[in-house]
A and B are shown apart, each in its own frame.
Chain A
Amino acid sequence: MILLWGLLEDPTFRSVYDWLRELRANVAFVNHAAVGRTRIGLSSSPKLSYKLCCERHSYRLDTVSAAYLRPYDHRHYDEFAGLGGPQQSASHADIVHQLMHVWAEHADAVIINRPSAEATNHSKLNQARFLRACGFLVPDSIITNDLSEVRYFLSRHGSVIYKSMSSVRSIVKELHACMLDSLGNIGPALFQQRIVGDNLRVHVIGEKVFSCLVRSPSIDYRYGPASLETAHLPDEITARCITLARELGLVVAGIDLIATPEGKYYCLEVNPNPAFSFFELSEKNDIAQAVAQALMLG
């Protein structure tokens, strides 16, 4: 049985769901929006086992062969929030999340993706150590609250961007020297040498690789006009992407690369839960098909 935990309104999740139906897989869909009505039981004897119940269906999680988990912040749509005290309802959803999290970490199943593998993106610079170990160039970076250090970094690199150092989404922006005068005291923030070149998004699903060139005038193409086309990576870079995903423990990975005009490949980060439907270049949703096939191998 393949467990899907997410929202059918999410195009990425939906595309995998549709492919699994097309492939006639045995699917158990658990609506993440119903987290307030989801129940999980756990017993430690003879070994740790979990039972999940939601909307009149009940599943023993030790029968799950593979799972695709794409939960959201349940606080945004927990229909029970505020009923019987916000603390109480929040804690129910939190406990469900924690139990799913711990199950997913330890389950004898193909999990897309295990929480510990996803967490490698919670610290971008710590993840950069993996990127570099796999042979990618990484931008020169500094985390600092010292504006004199920022000025020096900017003068050294000429062009610098700033963004969140955690997995919390932020808009990547360019730093200009004139901004520093009005900043005042700042908390430690991440500044990075700006790498100029072609933006590439590479999705790795096991041994399959889908590469996409993103053309955009914006520094952060997610927040500006962008067009997509198929990219052809050198074999060496393709192999490096597969190795990187494997080293991070990710069955599915969205890898952000920049190819410079000199032919160098920088890796910016790896998204462990990519919204790959945005990057689908075929009407058949090839990436989703590959994810569905990876789940069916479980």
Chain B
Amino acid sequence: MILVLTSLADQDAVAFAKEFGGAVAISVLTCRDLAENHTALRYPDFASSTLTVDRRKIAIGEIEGVINVLPAVFPEELVFFPPEEREYQAAEFHALLTFFLSGLPCPVVNRPAAGSLSGPYLNPIGWYHLAQRTGIPVSPIRLDTENFVNPFAASCDKPVIAVTCLGDRVIAPSGTTADRDTIALSRQAKVDYLTVLYTADEAGRPQLAAVRAIPDLRDGVTRRALIDYLRGHRAA
């Protein structure tokens, strides 16, 4: 079974599960599902853990892959808890999901890291640091907490190249050095999926402008690639 871990209001995930539901066992999982249906995650005996998916109790071993489009648990998401409990419960669910996703033996796109549920960084500047350390040019940014203007909002408006990689393979190539750089960045970040937006410098060379570590389920190429990737792991 493939799980799509997402937020309550994510209709793209529901549509994705519906699109491929005839070909593979695929279900959407939210924090509400984990809270309102029986969940039992054990340690050290993690393999004996169970959760409820589509009203059926499943063992951890039945999960063949996870597509994770939930970078963090926000209190606002947890409408099924009283308002005064939501901030505490958000931290608790973050802890639960970190434990759950980190321990799964199947592929998780993407697996949590210390910084976020979907990879190493929530903050875009973290990706800039990693890119510079990897030798990837970054587009110039400047910011000041006085008169703060989000520099990433501006750079995302004018990308000239978008490259997506999944499992060491570029699924939407650009035919430029950005393809190689995107793979290098995903390896450094130890994530399976990455979309990197680049702008061009004065000589037309790509410079990293923004990074998305959450699979874009509105994109048909990405949807197909995700299913093939997880099926490929199952076959292997």
Contact = CB atoms under 8 A, between A and B. Distances in A.
Interface of A: 38-45, 47-48, 91-92, 95-96, 98-99, 101-102, 105-106, 115-117, 119-120, 122-126, 128-129, 132, 138, 140-146, 149, 164-168, 187-189
A145 B102 contact: no
Nearest to B126: A102
B212 to A, nearest CB: 18
A96 B148 CA distance: 11
A115 B145 contact: no
Most chain-A CB neighbours within 10 Å: which of B91, B114, B126, B129? B114
Given A99-B125, A143-B40, A145-B35, 17 more contacts: A44-B138, A44-B139, A45-B140, A99-B145, A102-B123, A106-B129, A115-B114, A116-B115, A119-B114, A119-B115, A122-B94, A125-B43, A125-B99, A144-B41, A187-B35, A187-B81, A188-B92
Contacts of B113: 116
B8 to A, nearest CB: 15
Most chain-A CB neighbours within 10 Å: which of B91, B94, B96? B96
Given A146-B40, A166-B92, A188-B34, A126 B115 contact: no
B144 A102 contact: no
B146 interface: yes
A167 B142 contact: no
| B contacts with A: majority SS | mixed
Interface in B131-168: 132-133, 138-146, 148
Interface in B16-40: 34-35, 38-40
Given A44-B141, A102-B123, A125 B41 contact: yes
Contacts of B115: 105, 115-116, 119
Contacts, number: 149
Interface of B: 34-35, 38-45, 81, 88-89, 91-96, 98-99, 102-103, 113-115, 120-121, 123, 125-126, 128-129, 132-133, 138-146, 148
| A contacts with B: majority SS | mixed
A126 B45 CA distance: 13
B41 A47 contact: no
Contacts of A144: 38-41
A122 B123 CA distance: 17
A39 B138 CA distance: 24
Most chain-B CB neighbours within 10 Å: which of A41, A48, A142, A143? A143
A126 B94 contact: no
Given A105-B129, A126-B99, A165-B95, A41 B41 contact: no
